[in-house]
Structure 1
């Protein structure tokens, strides 16, 4: 059965999620997290994609990107392959690191853009990993 085509975004913004295969942890330590950020920093600009917001959870990541040229599929494939190769070499893991294709949701309005940024940044608190205090 063929895959459904990716959705288009009238704004160029997308909320992206990548999950560890079978819920496996993607990051063993800060070194892994830094490596993912370096991979994103190296690959996304090559595809004219700007990273707006991000959150690296233990077994998944959230990204909010600006993708005006609709190149997210190639970019996320390159990110996943690059990180999986590094992860497998470092840990001795064999096989898929990421579960299926990345999930994406087109951001269709400024209100949804702000909601997605808030959701991404508050994800660690929602999971009980961090506390957020609104002092404003």
Structure 2
């Protein structure tokens, strides 16, 4: 029952919808092998950013229900934004709002200056 309007992350959306009706348990074991091709939707960070926006619109109440969920969600979205070559200013603002720590403030400040994407991309190389 995947939402065919989702440009990517259909599985995340499905799990969020299922979790509204059923209890979900986490299993810390790899159950699936993945294979990426050049034309795979998983290779397009722009589609991931759009999908994250749609997921937030659809599941806003659940995401905003817990500061840890907010931080995790927007960190993931920020990583996709960085992979598009843009700075995740809005994402960092949301993280700072729900987790006003010194580290989050610095990341938000770097993002506002347009520098966060460079640090993120350097970190990905090492």
Same fold, TM exceeding 0.5?
A: no
Higher normalized strand content (fraction of residues): 1
TM-score, reference length from structure 1:
0.25
Whose RCO is larger (CA < 8 A, sep 6+)?
1
TM-score, reference length from structure 2:
0.27
Higher normalized helix content (fraction of residues): 2
